[in-house]
Structure 1
Amino acid sequence: MKNMLQPEHKRALISADTKPSFWLLHSLGWLFYVLILTIDNVAFIGSDKLDDRFVIFPLLISGLLAILLTLPLRSLYRRLWCLSPVKLFISVVVSSLLVAAIWTPLKNMVIWNWEDNYSIFLVLNGQFDEEHHPARLFMTISYAFFMVMAWSSLYFGINYHFRLVKEKEQHFNAVMLSHKAQIKMLRYQINPHFLFNTLNAISTLVLQGSKERANTMLIKLSTFFRYSLDNDPEKKITLQEELDALRLYLDIEKTRFDERLTVHFEVSPATEKLLVPSLIIQPLVENSIKYAIAKMKSGGEIRISARCEQDELILQVADNGPFSCFSQLPGMSQGVGLQNIDERLNVIYPHQHQFELSVAQPQGFVVTMTLPVEHSLE
């Protein structure tokens, strides 16, 4: 089994920004419209009927009318959100045109009253003159329609953006929860397998009358499982903690195999504080014991090494079992063995790890894991 995927940069976590207040954006948007019109009137058009300093007042009233008239569109658009794109577009156009048809005459009446001293009450009573014709109340309706359509576009654009971000965040969280569940499932597959082997060995010791050894083995087994259950399988621990757990496991196995098993640790001090998935080495050692040491009558050795090369942590478990080629491999990749570890690494380090099985010299096998370097915060 071999996984030679090239490492990639970690993707940044997706998180939805806080959505701005509708009232804030609604008010600021129309106030900005008033500001732009004021600058246009004062700087470019000018006014010979009114002091330029006061031209902002009718424009402010026009902006307030726009704020009030476009407010109902918010409730309307919420109801229309699930329509098909074509129906939604038609609805928005018709609604914007209706608002523009109401806003334009009201705005023009305010301007007539302010600039021409033509009373709004004269208009309401139907008293028009040549300069102030009823049709002229709807002048600039196309401009008003454009402004309301711009408001509608911004409303949908902003809401679509934050809905999309929220959906991405929900999808990301769902994937993370799925990965966590998968990690737990894969990690917890180890315990029943190891428990069966150990209890079988304890039963044999009891039948042989070795009660003290059986009791010692039970104590070590309970200590190991307490350690295992206290560590969340989705979290990472330091390599030193991982090796401590591994030594608990090996103490149990040495009780089973006695002098048939010798373990050598070659761990660089620089790697001891680096983070690794919990109980990631123990299944590899268990495979070596099951498929190599258990087949030997004496002289069984397992070497566990850890070193750093550039930004990578290299972990190796090697044995001197009786096998010297892959054709002799008795299904080590099945069950809770190498396949389990490979799946866990694929979940925890997607595209950022290597997992390789090779033949040792003169015999045996070497399992190599290459992981990204992660430093403990402690």
Structure 2
Amino acid sequence: MAESIDPRQRPRFWLIHCGGWLGYGLVSALGALPYRNAFPVLMYFLGTTAMAFLASPIILAISYRLAVAKASWPRTFAVVIACAYPMGILCSTTGAALETVFGHPPAASSQWYSILFVGFANAFSPTLMLAAWAALYRGAWHWQEAQQRERQWLLAETLAREAELKALRYQITPHFLFNTLNGVSTLVGEGETTAARRMIALLADFLRSTLEPTRQGDVSMAKELTQVQQYIEIEQIRLGWRLAATVQCDADVLDTPVPHLLLQPLVENAIRHGIAPFVEGGSLSLAVTGAGDAVRIAIRNRAGGMPGKRLQGGGLGLANTRARLAARYGEDYRFAADVAEGGWDTVIDIPRHAAVSAQA
């Protein structure tokens, strides 16, 4: 991974690199202006800066190797200083040589001695600049490495959630399909061919919309309610007058993204466990309302003629719903399913604006 995140591979890095050294050279050149004979001093600063610029890729390569090796900061500091100081001497000596050439050189016997003396004496400034540049590079390397790790973690988390949502969705679809086919078989056996054909047509429409590709399993609330109403109509064909259902939704939340097939298993549980087993049938209400940045989904079923009975049920539908909400919203949701007298009360609170837009 280290090879792929080397900041030197980015063109923007070299623009900053060249711009930084150019700025350092200009500031150094301004330091020559107070001198009476400024030109030789100017050549000293320009020569030192030019040599430091040429030496900087070497110190960056050393810093890169230390970063790849995960060297500690004390070891990195020691190695960088040990390498930067000889380079600083070379840079300062180069500047002193240019100053001598363009200025007034001393006697021939002491010319090179003076140049070397100036090189050693003035090596601190270029050494400091090279070490500082190496430290900035190491910081950029660590920042870019952290960014890449965060992107990889987010990608892995997204893929894991997508896989979990798909697995849960593949559990729901066959569960509903088998129940509906059993209903069709019952109608055919009772001679209700018209109702059976209508149920088959509704089942085909439901499965067609179910198998449409969606982004991370999200659809709009409007589409989710359309599929729920298709399912309710299928059950009304099977149960007849024994099922009274109402579906209400605020207009301003119809475009809210929700996980695909989130509500169908809850409605299915409410009908199968809370209404179908009883001769008197019962009622089902589904209400979707918006309040601020949240959307509340309330599902309520009651068994007719048995107001005091506490019904049991839930199972796979509730477990899948809780798991899908956790996978999709993390901790930013509320799910409550409580047994009430004569039925169930299920409440879901989700954000109005989810991170992934729905496909209507």
TM-score class normalised by the smaller sequence: 0.7 to 0.9
Q: How does 1:200-239 map to 2 (within 5 A)?
A: 200-232=182-214, 234-239=216-221
TM value normalised by structure 1? 0.81
What corresponds to 2:61 in structure 1?
Answer: 75
The alignment status of 1:350 with 2:341, answered yes or no, reads no
> C-alpha root-mean-square deviation of aligned residues, in Å?
2.9
1:100-127 C-alpha deviation (Å, 9 max, x unpaired) = 23222122212222333469xx6xxxx4
1:35 to 18, 26, 32: 26
Q: 2:243–2:283: 8 Å Cα contact kept in structure 1?
A: yes
Cross-structure match for 1:329: 312
Partner amino acid, structure 1, of 2:85: L
Contact 1:324–1:365, Cα closer than 8 Å, also in 2: no
Q: CA distance change for structure 1 residues 325 and 183 in 2, over 3 Å: closer, same or farther?
A: farther
Considering Cα pairs closer than 8 Å and 6+ residues apart, tell me whether 1 or 2 has the greater RCO.
1
Tell me the residue number matched to 2:344: 365
Q: Does 1:97 align with 2:56?
A: no
Render the CA deviation track for 1:84-139: whole Å, top value 9, x for unaligned. 325444432322223223222122212222333469xx6xxxx4259826433322
Residue matched to 2:151: 169
Paired position in structure 2 for 1:298 = 280
For 1:264, the equivalent position in structure 2 comes to 246
Are the structure 2 counterparts of residues 172 and 131 from structure 1 closer, same or farther at C-alpha, using a change threshold of 3 Å?
same
Name the CA distance, whole Å, in 1 between partners of 2:143 and 2:225: 48
d(CA) in 1 for partners of 2:134, 2:215: 49
Aligned to 1:60: 46
**Structure 1 residue corresponding to 2:103, chosen from 112, 115, 120:** 115
Deviation at 1:300, TM superposition (A): 1.5
Which residue identity does 1:290 align to in structure 2? R
Give the number of the structure whose residues are more often helix, by fraction: 2
- For 1:27, give the aligned amino acid: C
Q: Which runs of 5+ in 2 are unaligned?
A: 1-8
Match of 2:117 in 1: 135
Q: Distance in 1 between matches of 2:137 and 2:252?
A: 55
1:324–1:230: structure 2 CA closer, same or farther, 3 Å change rule? Answer: farther
Question: Which of 124, 137, 146 is residue 128 of structure 2 equivalent to?
Answer: 146
User: Scaled by the length of structure 2, what TM-score is found?
Assistant: 0.85
C-alpha distance in 2, partners of 1:165/1:354?
32
- Partner SS state of residue 81, structure 1: helix
2:293: which partner in 1? 311
Query: Cα offset for 1:325?
Result: 7.3
Percent of counterpart pairs with the same letter? 26
Q: Could you tell me how far apart the structure 2 residues matched to 1:58 and 1:232 are?
A: 67
